């Protein structure tokens, strides 16, 4: 591999000749060979949005000339188009402030911009990082990345699944089946009612997550190193937030208290709580569906789901509820990520939190996994669900809990006697009721109508 010399305040270092990054990025690359987890591209793109917005704000405030602004904007657009992805190689496991990733952006923008200009017009600190510190730039990018991925990926995915359940709900109206509590038979329920619970879980989760975004819309930019705004001109923070809003098409504002914005990460904890709540409901939904589809002959078998791939390397013809399994594994990961997010957010010492890379890595992984798995689950499982009407009807009329409708007429204790006799002798409830002399067959038929119990 060929190298070139790059220089920073610590001296010279060899950098791969084809890399746009500079000395500080290379030092981090050499010093933190830890794991395989790289800084998420969603965060890189959010930083590029910030650098673009900062260049515009600095230009409008008379601190940056037009040519340098144009170069910064041009390179940021290349980054946002995904053309420079390979030039952001740094590990998540680096400085807790994200300084090295901020400098990675600054160096790539400066070096690439200088190449485009045919001369050294841009300095990574003096121009690209103008009016900023890593301490306000990195948390700003965290908030921007979180809001954008939730709005552009997760919320649409939730909406798609909720809409699919709404269609299934409508298709299945009129189907009455056995309800279940404690994994035991319970009173009847309409299948559409059971589906409606899944739909409302998603709609409620979506509302919770949307409501959590307000704190993430407040940006730390303008606080610079410790929240005082040293080296940032008056109006920079507001202009930057305004420009980020314009570039992203969603609202961001300058955080009113920069000391809070730099050291507290409670907005991310709160928002991830919404992701965790969604994961909990998705776990329940996926488990319900795989239980209802269990079988094909020795399980509940009340619904069928798409057979997407062979399920066993040894048992011919076996098909498994793999989409449900994938979704439940994602739910487990999100719940685990919530612990990491909360613990990382608690490490705000004095004027700065120094666990930011691991916090945003886990947050964005949760959003990414939830978005992808929900889309997959919707299209490869839920869209193909079919009710097994015969199985549902058989289970319904075999349920002992239909006896609940008799309680108002013969009393709770007598109704319990009917159920126990029917279970003990493996006979229908009707026969047990007649045998005990509580009701005639005609009266039993009049009272036990599952369609009137839902």
CA angle, corner 241, sides to 255 and 270, nearest 5?
A: 45
CA–CA separation, 410 and 432 (whole Å): 13
Q: What percent of the chain has pLDDT over 70?
A: 100
Task: Tell me the mean pLDDT in the region 376-403.
Answer: 97
Q: Tokens standing for 337? A: 């990520």
Count CB atoms within 10 A of the CB of residue 346. 12
- Give exposure, 200-223, as e/b (b: 16+ Cβ within 10 Å): ebbeebbeebeebbebbbbbbbbb
- Domains of the chain, residue spans: 3-130, 143-175+189-218+256-387, 399-452
Cα torsion through 170, 163, 386, 372, rounded to 10: -170
338 Cβ contact partners less than 8 Å away, ≥ 6 residues apart = 272, 273, 275, 276, 366
Tokens found for residue 193: 């009612």
348 pLDDT exceeds 90? no
Cα of 64 vs its chain's centroid, Å: 38
Radius of gyration of the chain from Cα atoms? Answer: 30
CATH match of 399-452 with 1.10.40.30: yes
What's the whole-number mean pLDDT along residues 195-209? 98
Q: What is the pLDDT of residue 170?
A: 98
Active site residue 182: yes
Reference 65, options 18, 119, 122; nearest CA is 122
Q: Please state, in angstroms and as integers, the Cα–Cα distance from residue 110 to each residue in 30, 51, 53, 75, 89, following that order.
A: 21, 11, 16, 9, 17
Average the pLDDT over 120-137 and give the result.
98
Of 86, 123, 182, 254, the active-site residue reads 182
| Identical topology for domains 143-175+189-218+256-387 and 399-452 | no
pLDDT band at 364 (very low <50, low <70, confident <90, very high): very high
Q: Please say whether the beta carbons of 449 and 187 come within 8 A.
A: no
Q: Do 333 and 366 meet the contact criterion of CB atoms below 8 Å apart?
A: yes
CB 136 within 8 A of CB 99: no
- Locus of tokens 């610079």: 224
Q: Tens digit of pLDDT for each residue in 229-249?
A: 999 999 999 999 999 999 999
Half-sphere exposure of 291 (CA within 13 A, CB side): 10
Q: Which residue in 279, 281, 285, 230 sits closest to 258, CA to CA?
A: 230
> Which tokens sit at 387?
């009710």
Please pick, among 312, 346, 407, 440, the residue that the annotation labels catalytic.
Answer: 312
Long-range CB pairs of 168-176 (<8 Å, 24+ gap) are 168/195, 168/382, 168/385, 169/195, 169/196, 169/199, 172/387, 175/387, 175/389, 175/392, 176/392, 176/393, 176/396, 176/450, 176/451, 176/454
CATH architecture designation of domain 3-130: Orthogonal Bundle (1.10)
Average pLDDT, rounded, for the chain: 98
Cα separation of the two ends of the chain: 73
Selected from 3.40.640.10, 2.60.40.10, 1.10.569.10, 1.20.200.10, the CATH number assigned to the domain covering 143-175+189-218+256-387 reads 1.20.200.10
Q: Each residue of 65-104: b (16+ CB within 10 Å) or e? A: eeebbbbbbebbebbbeeebeebbbbbbebbbbbbbbbbb
Q: What is the DSSP string of 270-322?
A: HHHHHHHHHHHHHHHHHHHHHHHT--SSSS--SEE----S---SSSTT----H
Is 312 annotated as catalytic? yes
DSSP state of 184: E
Q: 231 to each of 5, 53, 58, 133, 171, how far by Cα in Å?
A: 30, 17, 12, 9, 63
């Amino acid at each position: 591999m060929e190298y070139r010399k790059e220089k920073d305040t610590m001296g010279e270092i060899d950098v791969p000749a084809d890399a746009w990054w500079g000395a500080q990025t290379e030092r981090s690359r050499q010093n933190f060979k830890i794991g395989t987890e790289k800084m998420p591209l969603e965060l890189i793109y959010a930083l590029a949005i910030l650098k673009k917005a900062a260049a515009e704000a600095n230009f409008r405030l008379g601190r940056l000339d037009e040519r340098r602004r144009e170069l910064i904007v041009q390179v940021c657009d290349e980054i946002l188009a995904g053309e420079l992805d390979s030039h952001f190689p740094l590990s998540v496991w680096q400085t807790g402030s994200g300084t090295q990733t901020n400098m990675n952006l600054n160096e790539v923008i400066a070096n690439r911009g200088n190449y485009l200009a045919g001369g050294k017009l841009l300095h990574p600190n003096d121009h690209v990082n103008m009016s900023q510190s890593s301490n306000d730039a990195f948390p700003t990018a965290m908030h921007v990345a979180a809001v954008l991925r939730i709005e552009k990926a997760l919320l649409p995915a939730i909406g798609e699944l909720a809409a699919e359940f709404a269609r299934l709900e409508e298709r299945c109206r009129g189907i009455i089946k056995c309800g279940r509590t404690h994994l035991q038979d319970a009173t009847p329920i309409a299948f559409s009612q059971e589906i409606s619970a899944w739909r409302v879980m998603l709609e409620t989760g979506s509302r919770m997550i949307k409501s959590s975004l307000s704190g993430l819309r407040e940006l730390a930019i303008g606080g610079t190193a410790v929240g005082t705004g040293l080296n940032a001109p008056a109006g920079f923070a507001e202009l930057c937030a305004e420009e980020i809003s314009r570039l992203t098409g969603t609202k961001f504002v300058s955080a009113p208290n920069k000391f809070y914005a730099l050291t507290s990460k409670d907005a991310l904890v709160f928002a991830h709580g919404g992701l965790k709540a969604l994961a909990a409901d998705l776990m329940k939904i996926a488990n319900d569906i795989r239980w209802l589809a269990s079988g094909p002959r020795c399980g509940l078998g009340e619904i069928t789901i798409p057979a997407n791939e062979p399920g066993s390397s040894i048992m011919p013809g076996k098909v498994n509820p793999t989409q449900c399994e994938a979704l439940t594994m994602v739910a487990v990961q999100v719940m685990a990520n919530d612990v990491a997010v909360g613990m990382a957010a608690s490490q705000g010492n004095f004027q700065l939190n120094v666990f930011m890379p691991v916090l945003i890595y886990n947050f964005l992984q949760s959003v990414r996994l939830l978005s992808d798995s929900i889309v997959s689950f919707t299209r490869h499982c839920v869209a193909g669900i079919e009710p097994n009407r015969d199985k549902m009807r058989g289970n319904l009329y075999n349920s002992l809990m239909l006896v609940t409708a008799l309680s108002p007429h013969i009393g709770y204790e007598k109704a319990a006697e009917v159920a126990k006799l029917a279970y003990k002798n493996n006979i229908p409830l009707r026969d047990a009721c007649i045998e005990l002399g509580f009701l005639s067959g005609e009266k039993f038929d009049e009272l036990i109508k599952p369609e009137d119990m839902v």
